Structure 1
């Protein structure tokens, strides 16, 4: 599936319509998956607890550059800078707990910023930080957070209505659910396990319309 780029309404950035989210438990080595991604996809590098996170991140960054993928690094502004990432992603907890000054500096340098949101307060923080993308999750039940209450389409719509910023949908993504979210105004689809369904010839989705 060929990916298309979409423009950020707030900063003129170009954001990928599809983002592969790495998961240390389910894909200990994300490199084989990256080799299958179409040019133009995004990669959100998490692997928070990997003992050699920076070394793995450098492999990921090299491959992203070679394959024309957009790299976002989660939770570590210094690592994002060292890897020359296209963007920084802040989990909701970090956005609450005081990484705001480095994030603001990152943003002031014209670099892309995405923020995770599970609540109205997090959406408001993303707006205050002038983020380029808000990642709303979990939209549907997900293996990675089995005890988390999913937003569902209505909860997704409620949070989206609070955001002047483009939103991404994460959690339980499948082609059928993705279509529902696209109709609800999802700007980007973020995929963990669901990436394999989208890479195996699933019908193309028209993502990335201007909000």
Structure 2
């Protein structure tokens, strides 16, 4: 698993391949298309960009699209964590990640390779308005599982140092990645 995961967002990153092409070598991209009509074309462009950077491509929720573009795996929403074991059985070479937003105990993580925990800090996008988990809750989650955990949601240069010693495997983001690696 790479230490950096760029999450796409159709509104905030309308041309995500431009960001993916500038990511550090070996980074990962999670393409979330939310039913966009150009999902296949965008996924193909992301596959090309991630291959050129020796990176990882995961497709959000859509195993068929992941197969179509030879992605490295699938990222599941929290509501579908229970589907990970079956998906892992059907695609043993795939990397499977899932979102986790709750303050409840961790669910059964069978089949998952990593967990994306959000929002860690106050965030925009899909996490806008959700209470941040904070670093202490993040530490408790990393201590409760052997799966790699990524911090997502409001992570930027000003607060990333707070993650040192938290046990997170890596960082994930939308806006911070666009700001750091985007074309503008």
Q: TM-score, normalised to structure 1's length?
A: 0.78
Deviation, 1:26, is: 0.5
* Structure 1 alignment gaps of length 5 or more: 1-14, 201-211
**The residue matched to 1:189 in structure 2 has which SS?**
strand
Equivalent-residue separation in structure 2 for 1:59 and 1:199 (angstroms): 16
Aligned pair count reads 181
Deviation, 1:110, is: 2.8
User: Match for residue 88 of structure 2?
Assistant: 104
Q: How do residues 12-27 of structure 1 correspond to structure 2 at under 5 angstroms? A: 15-27=1-13
CA shift digits 1:77-116 (9 cap, x unpaired):
12112211112111102225xx446423245x13211111
CA shift digits 1:132-187 (9 cap, x unpaired):
11111110111112221110111212222221211110000112322211321110
Equivalent-residue separation in structure 1 for 2:168 and 2:41 (angstroms): 33
User: Match for residue 148 of structure 1?
Assistant: 130
Equivalent-residue separation in structure 1 for 2:137 and 2:85 (angstroms): 30
Equivalent-residue separation in structure 1 for 2:32 and 2:45 (angstroms): 13
Q: TM-score, normalised to structure 2's length?
A: 0.88
* Structure 2 alignment gaps of length 5 or more: none
Instruction: Name segments (4+ residues, structure 1) moved above 6 Å.
Output: none
Equivalent-residue separation in structure 1 for 2:178 and 2:84 (angstroms): 34
Task: Tell whether the 8 Å contact from 1:137 to 1:151 is kept in structure 2 after alignment.
Answer: yes
